[in-house]
Amino acid sequence: MRTCQRGDGLRCHLCSLTDLAPVSEAVTLISGMTDVLQLEDIEASCARVMDLGRGLARGRDATRKATYYNYLEFAKSPQGNDLLIVSQDLMDDDFASFVFTQVPSEDRSTALTRLGIRDMAKNKYDFSALLLAPPDYHSEFKGRLDAKRDHLVLCIPIHRCEFSGDEPVDDFCALRMKIVPTMNWQREVVRKSSFAATTRKHRVALSMTSACSLNMKRCCTKWIY
């Protein structure tokens, strides 16, 4: 189960010769490669996995509070990136397919080491950009497919003012958990300044608590996101 924002887990082009093939056929071509993410891995990890054709698949995770739809585009090669989109309580196959088309080819084939923000074409939810998060910046599939998530890039449709793209890992996770509900495609625009204000408020409260704690011979100095 994952922990970042929603407390649960998840994860499809292969090569130009198989773009029109179902996922089950495309994955067969790399069946000997046990270290890459494959359709059977998703079937073992998610419920109601569907082959959407053209190298795409959808699975879902259901909790008591919400249902998460996980859209995947598998890497075109063992060195490429697997792409993942997650939506909360809204299944929209057409929009997910559109989002995958917005990922530049270089981001599919080159390992990402930090956040990236790319332009997005006009769309039904009025998102203006696409944020790409490498595996160190998210917890999708953690605890379930740890050995196969090294190239799992989380693709997040965003409003450009929500993220700068230079957030360190802790701040990025805090933004997603506390300020910007990134899995809600129908969310209102949230400006990053809200996070700064919240951060200052928490740190002031922490300083006051720490001072009181020291006077009482206690230690309470670490703010955990």
**H helix runs in 57-192, sequence order:** 93-101, 105-109, 169-174
Which residues touch 173 (CB under 8 Å, ≥6 apart)? 4, 5, 137, 138, 225
Return the sign of the alpha-carbon dihedral for residues 4, 9, 13, 15. Answer: positive
The pLDDT score that the predictor gives to residue 77 is 85
* Amino acid of residue 115: L
| Residue 213 clears pLDDT 60, i.e. is over it | no
What token pair was written down for 195?
């996070």
Backbone angles phi, psi at 196, to 5 degrees: -60, -40
- Pairwise CA distance, residues 7 & 9, whole Å: 8
The pLDDT score that the predictor gives to residue 35 is 72
Backbone angles phi, psi at 95, to 5 degrees: -70, -40
Question: Residue ranges of the domains in the chain?
Answer: 23-187, 192-225
The pLDDT score that the predictor gives to residue 218 is 31
What token pair was written down for 71?
């859209």
Is residue 91 a contact partner of residue 113, using CB atoms and an 8 Å limit? no
Neighbours of 168 (CB within 10 A): 11
The beta strand positions in 64-115, using DSSP E, are 67-73, 82-88
Give residue-wise pLDDT tens across range 45-62: 999 999 898 889 999 999
Q: Strand order of the sheet with strand 47-53? A: 47-53, 56-62, 67-73, 82-88, 152-158, 129-133, 116-119
Q: Which of 225, 132, 118, 142 is nearest to 179 (CA)?
A: 225
The pLDDT score that the predictor gives to residue 34 is 53
- Pairwise CA distance, residues 72 & 58, whole Å: 6
Is residue 181 a contact partner of residue 195, using CB atoms and an 8 Å limit? no
| Residue 130 clears pLDDT 80, i.e. is over it | yes
Give residue-wise pLDDT tens across range 60-94: 999 999 999 999 999 988 889 999 999 999 999 99
Half-sphere exposure of 67 (CA within 13 A, CB side): 10
Is residue 195 a contact partner of residue 178, using CB atoms and an 8 Å limit? yes
What token pair was written down for 3?
């922990």
| Residue 24 clears pLDDT 80, i.e. is over it | no
Neighbours of 167 (CB within 10 A): 20
The pLDDT score that the predictor gives to residue 7 is 45
Give residue-wise pLDDT tens across range 148-190: 999 999 999 999 999 999 999 999 999 999 999 999 999 999 8
Percent of the chain with pLDDT over 90: 59
Calculate the average pLDDT of the chain.
Answer: 78
